[in-house]
Structure 1
Amino acid sequence: MLSMGGDQVEEAAAHAAKVLRAGAGLDWSARAGGLDWSCLETAEHIAGVLVAYAGQLTGRATDTWVPFEVAFDEGSGPADAISVIESTSGLLSAVVRTTSPGVRAYHPYPYGSADATGFAAMGTAELLLHTHDIGQALGVDTEPPAALCEAVLAWLFPQVMPARTSDEHWATLLWATGRGSLAGRPRRSAWRWHNALSIPAGPVTLREVSPAAAADLAAGGTGGLTWIEGGPFDGTRRAAEGVTKAYASGVHRPEWGMFALVRVEDEVAVGGMGFHGPPDEEGVAEVGYDLAVGARGRGYATEALRALSAWALARPGVAALLAVIDHDNAPSQAVVTRAGYIRASDRENTRSYLRRP
């Protein structure tokens, strides 16, 4: 799996320190590439966001930023800035490693929160990208390890078609953040990264599965989750394979992929649920789900489907949700009925159910 966590933050920080030390004797009052800040001010920003991300997680901030800032001492120079970046990246990596999987904290993009993996990915991105901005002004090489770029793209930019070869990951990340051009893709003037969506559903939480985690699930792994005995079930792995293929083709759309159902009481994943793709031209999206055998009969699927359906039907342009179920799958038919779906039509081997706003 394309891992993301404390190790990646530390690797990005080591890369940043190496690049910045190569230009430590140059003019850091110059404006960093593409930014309104000087190189020194950009370095201060890097340190500030790393500490801010750590503070969000340790403070369990729910609706705003923890109100503090990081500022260099007066008279600090390039060597001091590099030292502070190394120190603050260590703080974030330590916090990421010790934060429980279910913890989320405030970040505005795009749903108002992120988990520890999300903050690690954002911290890694800040280090790579702003080191590049500084390096542009100083005229030093800034290309980071390809695996770091690939992981950042998979965790924060699931809507972006990944690079085909390892030597293109860095160029793709620069393009995704409006810093470069790619053949066949229009230059981006605006962009946002994507933190995985989390939807509470009573005894379970629906957690959006990133392309990185989906690829691991499709290959027989855990996707970074702790699964109930017997899980993940076959349908979950097939759904993960679908996300993986869609991401590789550049047609994956965040929100309209796969979610893991994670039990609140013990952080154990019990099944998968999600969509076969974004809504069609008529505004209809098809849902699907499965549970590991040991998790069935406890209401998990019904609660999750209610919550996911309510979320989806509140999205602009969504007219209805469709569930297609085998004729002989009575338990699944009962789930959709309890979740507010109405039987619409029958085919040779299936029954269709719709839920509208």
Structure 2
Amino acid sequence: MRTINGDDVNEAVAGCMAALRPAVERDWEDVKAGRLEWSCRATAFHLVEAFTAYSSRLAGGVTAGRLPLRVSLAEGADNTGVLDVVEATGALLAAAVRTAPPGVRAFHVQPFGSADREGFAAMAVTETLLHTHDIAEGLGLAYEPSAALAESVLTWLFPHVQPGPEPWPTLLWATGRGELPGRAPVTDWNWYNNLVIPAERVTLTGIRPAAARDLRLGGDGGFDWIEGGPYEGTRDASGFLVKAYEAGVHRPEFGVFALVRHEDGRAIGGIGFHGAPNEEGWVEVGYDLAEGARGQGYATEALRTLTERALARDDVSMVIATIEHANIPSQRVVSRAGFTRATVEEERIARDQHGMDDGLQLYIRRA
């Protein structure tokens, strides 16, 4: 799996320097940056603000919100000076990403309130690629980053965006900066850091499309697994996530999560949904654990946490689980998590209208 990191930040910033330094003698103050309302100079300084905020939050492990920090340029700084500061603060962020411990998260408002070190790297790369494009467009300069960088940020921050024929035009389209054949223009957009949901002894850590692809192919998805993990169900679920991503129907809130144990930071299993809620508000959940983590209540804890979060949403009326008749341990897990066995009529409807296999039992928990 290609994990996005500090080297990618440096590569993106180097591309920015190569594209913009030849035009430092131009007027940046009175020229808008592409489709933005900001000037080219203000857009370049925005990169400084973003890099400074990201690196300080990540290095400090800031989780409670934005730091009371403000940056400014020295009076009289010219365009060369602005780019020097972009380059320097980009290097600081790259260093913060490299030295941040695995699993550490810090505040970022969009959309789930935090990001890990890979998320901050991906956001910095995205900011750099897009705003270099904006400035270059305003100044009439040629610019196109590597396809690998564009693809990385798409799989890291845009799990809701169906991949297009080429990653860079897809990223421009997804952020309202271009057209893509067969797709409507984008006028409102957001990126998605992976969702993490804390429970008592484990954290449910959202699996990104890039990590899901690696898990499906037999990799570790970037997680440190205990012996015997990931189990077959997590790999299968990751494959379904990749298919949903490729079809453009993946919703991160209803994706797949690795169960990361607090005591040692190791992944012990997976849990997730089979897709977004249907028109009736039903959503199906599944889970598994590596053998060494079974019998300790982890599955019950994770299932209860994820189910209660789902049922708090307006678009979910019922969470369901389908379990084989002979799988008594899993039946006990769902029962301890507050699920009850469906009625005969409910099981008949699930089979006739929703395609549930005859060999499965239906368990439900309502809002």
Following the alignment from structure 2 to structure 1, what is the Cα–Cα distance between the partners of residues 241 and 363? 23
Aligned residue among 214, 217, 220 for 1:219: 217
Contact 1:22 1:140 in 2 (8 A): no
Structure-2 residue corresponding to 1:183:
181
Structure-2 residue corresponding to 1:323:
321
Structure-1 residue corresponding to 2:359:
349
Structure-2 residue corresponding to 1:100:
101
In the superposition, the TM-score normalised over structure 2's length comes to 0.94
Contact 1:63 1:112 in 2 (8 A): no
Give 5+ residue unaligned stretches, structure 1. none
Structure-2 residue corresponding to 1:279:
277
Q: Secondary structure at the match of 1:191?
A: coil
Q: Secondary structure at the match of 1:100?
A: coil
1:122 aligned partner, one-letter code: M
Q: Secondary structure at the match of 2:230?
A: coil
Following the alignment from structure 1 to structure 2, what is the Cα–Cα distance between the partners of residues 300 and 43? 47
Q: Say yes or no: does 1:9 pair with 2:18.
A: no
Structure-1 residue corresponding to 2:239:
241
Q: Secondary structure at the match of 2:342?
A: strand
After superposing the two structures, state which structure 1 stretch, 299-308 or 14-23, moved more: 14-23
Q: Secondary structure at the match of 2:323?
A: strand
1:234 aligned partner, one-letter code: E
1:37 CA displacement: 1.9
Does the C-alpha gap of structure 1 residues 105 and 88 become closer, same or farther in structure 2, counting only changes over 3 Å? Answer: same
Q: Secondary structure at the match of 2:36?
A: coil
Following the alignment from structure 1 to structure 2, what is the Cα–Cα distance between the partners of residues 178 and 321? 35
Q: Deviations over 1:145-197 (max 9, x none)?
A: 00100011111110000123xxx211110111111111111111111111111
Q: Deviations over 1:19-48 (max 9, x none)?
A: 111322322121211222221111111011
Structure-1 residue corresponding to 2:168:
170
Following the alignment from structure 1 to structure 2, what is the Cα–Cα distance between the partners of residues 171 and 71? 33
1:3 CA displacement: 2.1
1:322 aligned partner, one-letter code: I
Aligned residue among 300, 305, 308 for 2:306: 308
1:334-345 paired onto structure 2 within 5 Å: 334-345=332-343
Structure-2 residue corresponding to 1:206:
204
Q: Deviations over 1:32-72 (max 9, x none)?
A: 11222221111111011001001111222223211112211
Following the alignment from structure 1 to structure 2, what is the Cα–Cα distance between the partners of residues 87 and 70? 13
Aligned residue among 257, 260, 277 for 1:259: 257
Runs of at least 4 residues off by over 4 Å: none
Structure-2 residue corresponding to 1:78:
79
Contact 1:44 1:70 in 2 (8 A): no
Contact 2:216 2:238 in 1 (8 A): yes
Q: Secondary structure at the match of 2:253?
A: coil
Q: Say yes or no: does 1:297 pair with 2:307.
A: no
Contact 1:40 1:77 in 2 (8 A): no
1:16 CA displacement: 0.8
1:250 CA displacement: 1.3
1:325 CA displacement: 0.4
1:73 CA displacement: 1.1
1:218 aligned partner, one-letter code: R
Give 5+ residue unaligned stretches, structure 2. 348-356
2:7 aligned partner, one-letter code: D
2:277 aligned partner, one-letter code: P
Q: Deviations over 1:78-130 (max 9, x none)?
A: 21111111111111111111112222111111111111111111111011111
Structure-2 residue corresponding to 1:68:
69
Indicate the RMSD between aligned Cα atoms, in angstroms: 1.2
1:107 aligned partner, one-letter code: H
Q: Deviations over 1:275-306 (max 9, x none)?
A: 00000110000000000011111111111001
Following the alignment from structure 1 to structure 2, what is the Cα–Cα distance between the partners of residues 195 and 349? 38
1:21 aligned partner, one-letter code: R
Q: Secondary structure at the match of 1:355?
A: strand
Identity over the aligned pairs, expressed in percent? 54
1:348 CA displacement: 3.8
1:139 CA displacement: 0.8
Contact 1:59 1:66 in 2 (8 A): no
In the superposition, the TM-score normalised over structure 1's length comes to 0.97
1:32-181 paired onto structure 2 within 5 Å: 32-164=33-165, 168-181=166-179
1:308 CA displacement: 0.4
Structure-1 residue corresponding to 2:351:
none
**How many residues are matched?**
354
Following the alignment from structure 1 to structure 2, what is the Cα–Cα distance between the partners of residues 105 and 73? 29
Structure-1 residue corresponding to 2:20:
20
